[in-house]
Amino acid sequence: MIAGAAFTLGVLLTPSPSASAQTKGRVFEMRTYTTLPGRLDALNARFRNHTTKLFEKHGMTNIGYWVPKDAPRSEDTLIYILAHDSREAAKKSWDAFRTDPDWKKAQAESEASGKIVAKVESVFLDATDYSKVK
């Protein structure tokens, strides 16, 4: 994440013309979830058992998932990157995911003992011309 910058769900960054010209391939989305105290294990279980499969079902590509090494963020933060064919494809995929009955069921079951996520941040990214991942 860019130092000193905060992005919220739904904030879409507009790349400079030169950045847009660098790539014509997929768009990446970096998402950072902050959990309520003590709920990171529940979030990881939900992703491990349900969410990643549902992302694939709805056309999103799972690139990677990380938990920070250092406290305090190691106690409440999950960071992951998805790939989409385009920004429009991302919107369609997220719309379909959010209305999927399997997602609604997994969310309800995982939150039976309480809400998990306190905050979600989303940043859309273009790969640079020298990136190994495109």
Longest dimension (CA), the chain: 48
One DSSP character per residue, 2-28 reads -TT----TT------HHHHHH--S-EE
* Alpha-carbon distances of 130 from 53, 55, 86, 126, 127, rounded to whole Å: 30, 27, 20, 11, 8
67-93 confidence digits (pLDDT tens): 999 999 999 999 999 999 999 999 999
pTM attached to this predicted model: 0.81
| Whole-number pLDDT of residue 15 | 43
Residue ranges of domains in the chain, CATH in brackets? 24-125 (3.30.70.100)
Rg from Cα positions in the chain: 15
DSSP state of 34: E
d(CA 103, CA 50): 8
Q: Span 106-114, mean pLDDT?
A: 96
DSSP state of 36: P
- For residue 74, the one-letter residue type is S
| Whole-number pLDDT of residue 123 | 98
d(CA 23, CA 83): 14
1-57 confidence digits (pLDDT tens): 444 444 433 444 444 343 443 346 799 999 999 999 999 999 999 999 999 999 999
